[in-house]
Structure 1
């Protein structure tokens, strides 16, 4: 499968995941629900994203990931059409939950395929490209969703996504020869699956990724409400373009290789970035819009640096099959997203914005402690 086709699949898959985020105010109004309840549209998708990869990781050791990716793309296209025709919020949530069961199949298939096809530096480079496509998908999914809602209707964006998913699925070809399963021992039970996660450094890294995405998901999920209540921005187009900081942060994260020339130890680098991540969260308490946008950009850049370092690092540390390693990564990543999409919203709704920021800061500091402990665990095996 050409890498560009896989990256295009990644782009539109993330459209499905993040398209509702800038529309939460619109959907809250249309379905007459509270901001925290509308935020559950993201949690409803990320909850199965946090659990399903545990099963998919085992499944993909036996089946061709490209075949599963193809079917997942078709199913996502169908759910996009269904989503726009839901008459009430409960059915909207149910549709998002179903998408959450399908999305990890696509995501785990893509990371598994990369992990199986590439090794060493090529693995790191292509995994970074995959992460870049997921970043672009998250950015464009949010911006285009907001702008389609402003200039056309929010439903029209979902029709566009559905058509593109079908086109890409038709372009995926699977080899006619029989797929060769992983050469690793295939786990026969959940206990066997979880055994590789008992490795201390790997488990800490997974937990740090959980903390990282909890904070990121919490802030981005409630960004439209923050912009409305603190900065009086209610225009969907303006809200969509504030997400441009997300893309600028992603571009700034491309400087990671430059920093890595000076900080070669993975754990020292991750500790430094987590510290900056925590500082940026604390600074988001300011009331000046221009300063907020600058710090938000730094916040996004730190998240992408952590993600692009941690994703290939787990593949280097783990002795499990690549499908299981990446399935576990997706599970921890979106477990943080599922909780971060809902709990901080409840805190902000009942205790205000300052409590919201403090909750994100505390979780980020836990991530910092975890990667710092890995550095202390033993420097000789930490360089990846």
Structure 2
């Protein structure tokens, strides 16, 4: 795993960029006089191109080597991170976050492709579990550290440090010089049709979309829910509510063993989605301790499903690995885009319990999708 360590570090920094602003939402909301849904658009603005870009950038991803794209995206992310700090207008912030969203799918698709190449067919499950673990750590510590800076210093300093780390990371060797710029990963729409329908990946992608719809909604509006239950909650306190990510690290790294214990990928995915739904329902209880506990179960189930699904699509990708990873990210972040907006509108107008009802409906759709995968011999 040492040879993919630079790739995993790049993923961690990418998720710092994506999620570090979330604990700051109450601060930004007050400073810019925004509603909860308006503030949530700072996540939506980044996820929208994350949903659109993997496929619309297909020719770019095919024309240049993933190593080069990874380095360029890291440097440009550093520039936009500084811009986020300096911007004092909400519209400008949205534009900057949108630009970051254009860069992140290029970075993440390149990382996923290089990681799966480095691992080889025999170690894809472990390598992709390590990748998912890196994204978990990035999501957790990005939020936690930004909350610490907000409480004990100035949140802006964190983003300055992050921009420097991104530039430094762009200088690291990624160990993939043996590959030509584009060998076999050209993206064609007919290939997408084959992957979605003939190879049965469409059901996997639909389930993944529902998975991240729920997760994005919960993580985006969690700071406001914490504020409802504890009006004195600090930035650090809100950041610590994301500690459930730690169980996600465990389930991600243990996904192969858990799959074996669960009776195979199909059965484990079913179990994972059921546990996911139970954790969602638990968050309806008006108790901050129960909310904190339920988020551990919630994150553990989410990243178990995510790890198994991400590894499996790479095992069936064959020569179309970059296309499959682009499709995976497209559907994954489509769920994120919708989840960062639609449930928030329900939350604003009807309250948390109706918000939870929407998430449970999405979980049911994902569970049904998973149940159909067995027909495609998902084992």
TM-score, with structure 2 as normaliser: 0.94
Work out whether 1:353 is the aligned partner of 2:352: yes
1:312-353 superposed Cα distances (whole Å, 9 cap, x missing partner)? 111123356111000010111111111111111111000111
Check if 1:280 corresponds to 2:276: no
The secondary structure found in structure 1 opposite 2:200 is helix
Mapping of 1:235-254 within 5 angstroms?
235-254=234-253
- Residues in 2 aligned to 1:176 and 1:219: alpha-carbon distance in whole angstroms: 40
Aligned pairs (5 A) from 1:221-232: 221-232=220-231
Cα distance in 2 for partners of 1:177, 1:117 equals 11
Structure 1 residues 58 and 314, CA gap change in structure 2 (3 angstroms): farther
1:275–1:233 distance in 2 versus 1, CA, 3 Å: farther
Residues 233 and 239, structure 1, Cα contact 8 Å, conserved in 2: no
Q: Aligned partners of 1:227 and 1:35: how far apart in 2?
A: 13
- State the partner residue of 2:129: 128
Question: Displacement of 1:290 after TM fit?
Answer: 1.6
Cα distance in structure 2, aligned partners of 1:176 and 1:207: 35
The alpha-carbon deviation at position 249 of structure 1 amounts to 3.7
In 2, the alpha carbon distance for the partners of 1:105 and 1:144 equals 25
Instruction: Give RMSD over aligned pairs.
Output: 1.9
Q: 1:215 to 1:178 in 2, by over 3 A?
A: closer
Q: What's the counterpart of residue 215 of structure 2?
A: 216
User: 1:175 and 1:309 mapped to 2: Cα distance?
Assistant: 25
| Aligned length in residues | 378
The secondary structure found in structure 2 opposite 1:171 is coil
Greater CA deviation, 166-175 or 282-291? Answer: 166-175
The question of whether the paired residues in 1 share the 8 Å contact of 2:137 and 2:245 is answered with no
Following the alignment from structure 1 to structure 2, what is the Cα–Cα distance between the partners of residues 369 and 233? Answer: 41
| Distance in 1 between residues matched to 2:118 and 2:183, nearest whole Å | 11
TM-superposition CA deviations, 1:126-170 (whole Å, max 9, x none): 111111111100100000011111111111111010000011112
Q: Secondary structure at the match of 2:88?
A: coil
- Compared CA separation, residues 111 and 249, structure 1 to 2 (3 A): closer
Which residues of 2 match residues 259-338 of structure 1 at below 5 A?
Answer: 259-319=258-318, 321-338=320-337
Q: CA deviation at 1:192?
A: 4.4
Question: Are the equivalent residues in 2 in contact too, given 1:81–1:158 (CA < 8 A)?
Answer: yes
Q: Matched residues in 2 for 1:307 and 1:90: separation?
A: 33
Gaps of 5+ in 2: none
Distance 1:137 1:43 in 2: 18
- Is the CA contact 2:220–2:340 (under 8 Å) kept in the aligned structure 1? yes
Q: Give yes or no for the alignment of 1:37 onto 2:38.
A: yes
Q: Identify which range, 197-206 or 36-45, moves more after superposition.
A: 197-206
Aligned to 1:118: 119
Counterparts of 1:1-384 in structure 2, within 5 Å, are 2-172=3-173, 179=180, 181-183=182-184, 186-187=186-187, 189-199=188-198, 201-319=200-318, 321-375=320-374, 377-378=375-376, 381-383=377-379
Equivalent-residue separation in structure 2 for 1:260 and 1:206 (angstroms) = 19
Closer/same/farther in 2, CA of residues 137 and 59 from structure 1, 3 Å limit: same
- What is the deviation of 1:296? 1.2
CA distance in 2 between partners of 1:200 and 1:366 (Å): 20
Distance 1:204 1:317 in 2: 14
User: How far did 1:115 drift?
Assistant: 2.4
Structure 2 Cα separation of the partners of residues 235 and 181 of structure 1:
49
Distance 1:174 1:252 in 2: 28
* Cα distance, 1:174–1:301 mapped onto 2, change above 3 Å: closer
The Cα of 1:13 is off from its aligned counterpart by 1.0
